[in-house]
Structure 1
Amino acid sequence: MTAMQRTFQRVHTAVGAPRLTRFSLNAPKYVEVEFATGNVYILSAEYLRILSPAADGKMRSIGGEKVIFGRRHVGIMSTEPIGNYGVRIVFDDLHKTGIYTWDYLYHLGSNKFSLMRNYIKTLKKHGLSRDPSRRK
């Protein structure tokens, strides 16, 4: 077991997050995750992309806020398991550096509506859109 896996296991145990029981990719639109509690979450490609746990060069910093915009139509090309604790998601905009732990997916599912609402408010505040920029 690697140091990272031991750390994850300690955090997972300390947090007491439910165990993932099913992960299903429905490319290119969404992933579906189910946890031992019976909670099932459908997480869209756009939602997963804008809340990627990775630092990203396509992110704009506006007034100290990190904002990813124009990803309404992004798709998921593939997923790769990372140990027994998460998955790497490869998007069609070529972003692939984020590792989504099972705990993070549970957090995203449990807080989907408030996280998306806050994201849309941030876009509006900065005059940005979920839609991609038109190419000239």
Structure 2
Amino acid sequence: MTDAWPTEIRLHKDRRTLSVAFDDGVAYDLPAEYLRVESPSAEVQGHSPADRQLVPGKREVRISEVIPVGHYAVRLVFDDSHSTGIFTWDTFAQLGREQDERWKRYLQELAAKNLSRDAAGTTRHH
């Protein structure tokens, strides 16, 4: 647990990045795809580490809504209809701090299971 308190949570116009700035001066730009595949929801995380779900095909996902939950969290609604993840301030801080290692692990897990970041039937756009 940290005592970090967000001073700004801003969804970029393209809805692909959520910027979170904290009162200790640290700020993170968190991609929608990363937030979706690391969602703290039971649907993704399961009820134990062994139940954790690998979520492929989310390269194009966007954040539709950022809904406040009390004074401690927000619920993110994604355009693939996923909306059960409650992101606390500590969760954002942890996802920001661990972004590089978590993303690397995610890509390794996809490769190991021969899965793609692209949705089935879509092509990558550059």
- Sort the TM-score into its range (normalised by shorter chain): 0.7 to 0.9
Separation of aligned partners in 2, 1:65 and 1:81: 25
Separation of aligned partners in 2, 1:24 and 1:65: 28
Secondary structure at the residue paired with 1:117?
helix
Provide the aligned C-alpha RMSD in A.
1.9
Task: Give every structure 1 segment of 4 or more consecutive aligned residues whose post-TM-superposition deviation is greater than 6 Å.
Answer: none
**2:2 corresponding residue in structure 1:** 16
Q: CA deviation at 1:93?
A: 0.2
Query: Which ranges of structure 1 fall in alignment gaps of 5 or more residues?
Result: 1-14
Query: Which ranges of structure 2 fall in alignment gaps of 5 or more residues?
Result: none
Q: How many residues align?
A: 117
Q: Give runs of aligned pairs for residues 1-136 of structure 1, distance below 5 A.
A: 15-27=1-13, 28-56=15-43, 66-134=53-121
Q: CA deviation at 1:65?
A: 5.2
> Normalised by the size of structure 1, how large is the TM-score?
0.80
Separation of aligned partners in 2, 1:113 and 1:17: 22
Residues 14-45 of structure 1 show CA distances to partners (whole Å, capped at 9, x for unaligned) of x3332211111114111100111111100011
CA gap of 1:48–1:16, structure 2 versus 1, over 3 A, is closer
CA gap of 1:102–1:52, structure 2 versus 1, over 3 A, is same
Separation of aligned partners in 2, 1:92 and 1:77: 6
> Normalised by the size of structure 2, how large is the TM-score?
0.86
Q: Which has the larger radius of gyration?
A: 1
